[in-house]
Amino acid sequence: MSAAAKSSAPGAPPGRGALRRNLPPARRFLAGRKRVLVRLGGWSLLESAQTFLGGYCLAQALDRGFLAGQTGTGLLWLAVAAASILGAGPPMRGVFTQLAELTEPLRDALVRRAVRQALRRAVTDPARTDDRADTGAVSRLTHQTEIVRDSFAGLVLTVRAFVFNAVGALIGLLALAPELLLVVLPPLVLGIGLFLATLLPMASAQRAFLDADEAVAEGVGAVSAGHRDLVACGAQADAAERTGRLIDTAERTSRVLARWAALRTVALGVAGQLPVLLLLVTTPWLLRQGVTTGALAGALTYLLQALLPALHSMMTALGAAGTRLLVVVDRFQDATAAPVPPKAPDPDPDPDPDVVVEAGTPRGRRPSRTAPAVEIRAVTHAYGPDSPPVLDHLHLTVRRGEHIAVVGPSGIGKSTLAGVVSGLVAPDHGTVLLGGEPVTGATAQDLADRRVLIPQQAYVFTGSVRDNLLHLRPDATSGELTYAIGVLGAEPLVDRLGGPDAVLDPRGLSHGERQLLALCRAYLSSAPLVLLDEATCHLDPAAEARAEHAFAERAFTDGARARGGALIVVAHRLSSARRADRVLVLDGTTPRFGTHEELLTSSALYRDLFGHWQHTPPPAGS
């Protein structure tokens, strides 16, 4: 189930919940633009006058003019009607001017909201920051904001046109003959009521269809991206079954949407066609009641030329653009909802008997001189209440100065583990300690002082090379900067860019060059624990080996070890595992942790991965 679908209020249909969530911000938006609405209504009243004159002048032209033998009088009434039509240009120009005053601020507000949401997700879940990470945010920023603007503009135009055309037409019918209202109003009200009753169920069906369609696209994309891992793990049947369930759900939601669309068509027929039919059927009775021929012609003019076209446009817009607008705007509301606060850590479910807790020290706050660099106790994490956990009751201890590699198939939870250790992802259960201090409850600055995480997509900003490299530690000396550049082999890149004080344009850098600069920045950081989440995947094997060796030496220095220093590498190549002191193998069932030699004996997955890697040996120096 998608996040959008799960966000609906419990026990309420998604359409009703979406309407309840979006009505308050909609009222605030319109309340702040009362003057625009007043001006829009003023221009639209002129359209009501034109509608009124169209049918009324035709009726008078027939009754007082042509049918009474007064041709000049008839032509005069028709001239008045023609003048009202010709004078429609300025009112329409005024309507569109005020419409822009409504739609453009709405679009700007949604763009700002989409940007805030993307930044929030990047901060709260950096482990998902890759080329495909938040395509939903890009869609909201571009395509979906345009959908909202266009749909909102269409709704305002069509609803406004119907309301003011209806006012002019109903006043005209009343002026011609009150009996006409007895014939026209009942089917009109019945059809509109039936149509309005379908709006919320239609929005629910539309949303369910969109959620199912997105789930199919995401599921097929995930299978396509990870097909090698699926084949390697023998999970083709399971992947096919899950994808089949997604497709079946999409088919069911499509059928439900089609049924509501058919009912909407019935409502349109009742409101749009039945009034004309009843007017024709009741013509003899109306004539007996004294209704004139001109009044009947005027009534048909009101129905066929003004009221029914406007009604048809409004129903079509509300049924299609309206439900789409409600669904898309609600996605903005869902995406910008406040993040769920991290759960309090569980009591230590499996205390380590080898670690002594000094008297008077609260449990979980170990003395920094004796605690491991990283300790994970019974951590479980899933990306939804109905999703299988990607980390399930995981225990892990990383010693000070140790170099750890994490391997496993794509999507198995390696980046999630990096996010949990760094404190950016709150586990559902369990405890994470860095240097004996719990991650939960630590401030952003506390975490920055204790660990540095470099994701696969390295962040480089416009500014000098020096500003980029000293971003995490502005007080580093020139000697430390030069040493970091040298130990990581970044001198050729820095020289090509024009030296440390040269202005850096991120668009001119390759992915590998971005990663090399980010590695230099992390090396200069004062944080003792370094997590590299495939942070060297765009480097060649020799450069990757050099970087990992430099960070391993950094973690093993006396100063870093004393403060809980260690290196954790989410491996992109198996050569990273060969260089590590110990390796954690995530296979989705029982994680294995040990040296390279131990895992060749105890882990079938590690043997398969290593055997496949050996068939294509890396270049010398890796």
Structure tokens at 262: 């058919």
Predicted local confidence at residue 58, as pLDDT: 92
Predicted local confidence at residue 8, as pLDDT: 38
pLDDT band at 322; cut points 50, 70, 90: low
Predicted local confidence at residue 622, as pLDDT: 41
**Bridge partners of residue 570, in order along the sequence:** 406, 533
Phi, psi of 247 (to 5 degrees): -65, -40
- Averaged over 80-106, what is the pLDDT? 84
Instruction: Check the CA dihedral 90-95-96-98 and report its sign.
Output: positive
CB atoms within 10 A of CB 456: 22
Predicted local confidence at residue 328, as pLDDT: 66
DSSP-derived letter for residue 367 is: -
Is pLDDT larger for residue 11 or for residue 169? Answer: 169
pLDDT band at 257; cut points 50, 70, 90: confident
d(CA 554, CA 520): 12
For the chain, the average pLDDT equals 79
d(CA 579, CA 548): 8
- Averaged over 16-35, what is the pLDDT? 73
Phi, psi of 617 (to 5 degrees): -60, 140
Predicted local confidence at residue 335, as pLDDT: 46
Helices within 125-235 (DSSP H only): 135-139, 145-176, 179-225, 227-233
pTM > 0.85: no
Is residue 621 pLDDT above 50, yes or no?
no
Is residue 362 pLDDT above 70, yes or no?
no
- Averaged over 51-57, what is the pLDDT? 91
Q: Work out the percent of the chain whose per-residue pLDDT is above 70.
A: 78
pLDDT band at 352; cut points 50, 70, 90: very low
Predicted local confidence at residue 206, as pLDDT: 75
Structure tokens at 615: 């068939």
Q: What is the pLDDT of residues 457-495, one digit of tens each?
A: 888 888 899 999 999 999 999 999 999 999 999 999 999
Q: Which residue has the tokens 């980029």?
A: 468
- Averaged over 428-435, what is the pLDDT? 90
Is residue 294 pLDDT above 90, yes or no?
yes
Q: Which of 150, 243, 247, 159 is nearest to 199 (CA)?
A: 159
| Three-state SS annotation for 282-343 | CHHHHHHCCCCHHHHHHHHHHHHHHHHHHHHHHHHHHHHHHHHHHHHHHHHHHHCCCCCCCC
Indicate the SS3 state at residue 453.
strand
Predicted local confidence at residue 115, as pLDDT: 73
C-alpha angle with apex 325: 264 to 210, nearest 5 degrees?
A: 80
Is pLDDT larger for residue 483 or for residue 574? Answer: 483
pLDDT band at 306; cut points 50, 70, 90: confident
Structure tokens at 413: 């939870």
Predicted local confidence at residue 616, as pLDDT: 53
**Bridge partners of residue 504, in order along the sequence:** 463
Instruction: Check the CA dihedral 455-456-461-467 and report its sign.
Output: positive
- Averaged over 424-444, what is the pLDDT? 89
Is residue 43 pLDDT above 50, yes or no?
yes
**Lowest mean pLDDT across 134-148, 297-311, 547-561, 585-599:** 134-148
Q: Work out the percent of the chain whose per-residue pLDDT is above 90.
A: 26
**Lowest mean pLDDT across 43-47, 138-142, 192-196, 602-606:** 138-142
- Averaged over 550-577, what is the pLDDT? 79
Predicted local confidence at residue 384, as pLDDT: 72
Predicted local confidence at residue 133, as pLDDT: 44
**Lowest mean pLDDT across 192-196, 276-280, 319-323, 505-509:** 319-323
Any residues with CB less than 8 A from the CB of 56 and at least 6 apart, and which? 172, 175, 176, 298
Is residue 604 pLDDT above 70, yes or no?
yes
Predicted local confidence at residue 411, as pLDDT: 78
Is pLDDT larger for residue 90 or for residue 203? Answer: 90
Q: What is the pLDDT of residues 390-425, one digit of tens each?
A: 888 889 999 988 999 999 888 788 888 999 999 888
Is residue 311 pLDDT above 60, yes or no?
yes
Predicted local confidence at residue 203, as pLDDT: 74
Is pLDDT larger for residue 336 or for residue 214? Answer: 214
**Bridge partners of residue 83, in order along the sequence:** none
- Averaged over 354-374, what is the pLDDT? 48
Maximum Cα interatomic distance, the chain, rounded to a whole number of Å: 114
Predicted local confidence at residue 344, as pLDDT: 41
CB atoms within 10 A of CB 141: 18
- Averaged over 38-47, what is the pLDDT? 87
- Averaged over 564-573, what is the pLDDT? 85
